[in-house]
């Protein structure tokens, strides 16, 4: 890391520590330095040197940065800058002081608990809110970008200790003129979080993000992904053919209103699924708020701090996954 520190110091970034590592990239916590002792905590996402030399990876990394640069929304991790140094591309991103949703699920499992139903629905509603914004995004010429994230899953949802919910990692997203895409030839996404159309190598639209969002909701409620198998091909077969259960029979606190949301999100025929993230968001919010005081960011933040034993004012940072 010494050489990376030296290189980035010249760019006015003080590399603090590596916080995550993936097959193709690394993520560091860093301080962006400026005049007058200015210091801002950021995340630096760095493509590995061996992949930086491959044009396909370069183009996708650049495409992701260009795509997310204008995705400015409270429920999406912000990207500030794309740079190149020593032959490697890097992105400077918002640093979320908190945990990803996979860590939340694992912590519940470790403690023998399940997430409260209202907070699970709230988290997913915030992801739906971010997706609504992304799916409706147009470029500066007014052309609809037709963004499809294609990698909705717990690792790509960050929860700040203050209770903010943020979708991240648009690295395999599909968008007009921006991202490398071979739909019909390869499967984009993780086997246990695919939509049926992804598992069938079909061309996707925004509705493909809603089926895995339904999977995430059920995983938060049950503490497990019902489609996951040790065999990747079996996970895909489960997505395509496994009978969808009545989730209220698996957890009594799931009432008819939430059951209806889950069942519609998990329709294999996308014409029977929610037509948009906005409609799924609306139904989740009607479930949460129509007849009672519902959850808030602050309530979620208090719950997360209690779950992970975090005490203010010093908040430790748990490492997110490298979203590459």
How far, in Å, CA of 11 to CA of 61, rounded?
A: 20
> How many residues can be counted in the chain?
324
DSSP string covering 48-96: -HHHHTSHHHHHHHHHHHHHHHT---TTB--EEEEEEETTEEEEEEE--
Distance CA 86, CA 302 (A): 43
Q: Helices 117-135 and 256-265 sit at what angle, rounded to 10 degrees?
A: 40
CB 34 within 8 A of CB 11: no
**231 is a catalytic site residue:** no
Question: Angle 73-77-78 (CA atoms, 0-180°, nearest 5)?
Answer: 70
How far does Cα 159 stand from its chain's mean position? 10
Q: Which two tokens stand for residue 95?
A: 């640093």
**For the residues of 154-179, what is the DSSP string, one character each?**
GGGEEEETTS-EEE---TT-B-TTTS
Q: Report yes or no: 132 and 278 within 8 Å, Cβ to Cβ.
A: yes
25-34 and 38-47 as β-strands: parallel, antiparallel, unpaired? antiparallel
Q: What count of other Cβ atoms lies within 10 Å of the Cβ of residue 112?
A: 7
194 touches 187 (CB < 8 A)? yes
Catalytic residue among 70, 139, 141, 151: 151
Closest CA to 159 of 324, 317, 323, 322: 317
User: What residues are labeled active site?
Assistant: 151
């Amino acid at each position: 890391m010494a050489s990376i520190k030296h290189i980035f110091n010249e760019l006015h970034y003080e590399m603090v520590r590596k916080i995550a590592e993936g097959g193709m990239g690394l993520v560091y916590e860093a301080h962006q330095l400026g005049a007058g002792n200015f210091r801002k905590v950021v995340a630096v996402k760095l493509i590995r040197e061996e992949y930086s030399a491959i044009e396909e990876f370069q183009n996708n990394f650049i495409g992701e940065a260009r795509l997310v640069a204008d995705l400015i929304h409270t429920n999406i991790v912000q990207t500030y800058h794309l740079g190149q140094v020593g032959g490697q591309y890097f992105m400077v991103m918002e640093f979320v002081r908190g945990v990803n949703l996979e860590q939340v699920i694992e912590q519940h499992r470790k403690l023998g608990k399940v997430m409260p139903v209202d907070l699970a629905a709230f988290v997913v509603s915030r992801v739906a809110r971010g997706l609504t914004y992304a799916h409706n995004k147009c470029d500066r010429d007014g052309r609809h970008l037709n963004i499809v994230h294609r990698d909705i899953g717990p690792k790509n949802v960050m929860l700040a200790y203050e209770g903010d919910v943020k979708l991240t990692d648009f690295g395999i997203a599909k968008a007009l003129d921006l991202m490398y895409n071979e739909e019909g030839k390869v499967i984009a996404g993780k086997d246990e979080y695919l939509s049926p159309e992804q598992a069938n190598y079909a061309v996707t639209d925004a509705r493909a993000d809603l089926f895995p969002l339904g999977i995430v909701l059920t995983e938060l409620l049950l503490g497990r992904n019902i489609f996951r198998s040790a065999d990747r091909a079996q996970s895909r077969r489960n997505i395509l053919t496994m009978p969808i259960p009545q989730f209220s029979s698996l957890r009594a606190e799931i009432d008819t209103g939430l059951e209806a949301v889950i069942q519609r999100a998990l329709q294999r025929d996308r014409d029977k699924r929610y037509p948009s993230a906005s409609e799924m968001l609306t139904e989740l919010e009607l479930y949460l708020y129509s007849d009672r005081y519902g959850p808030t960011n602050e309530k979620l933040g208090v719950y997360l701090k209690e779950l992970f034993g975090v005490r203010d004012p010093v908040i430790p940072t748990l490492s997110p996954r490298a979203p590459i």
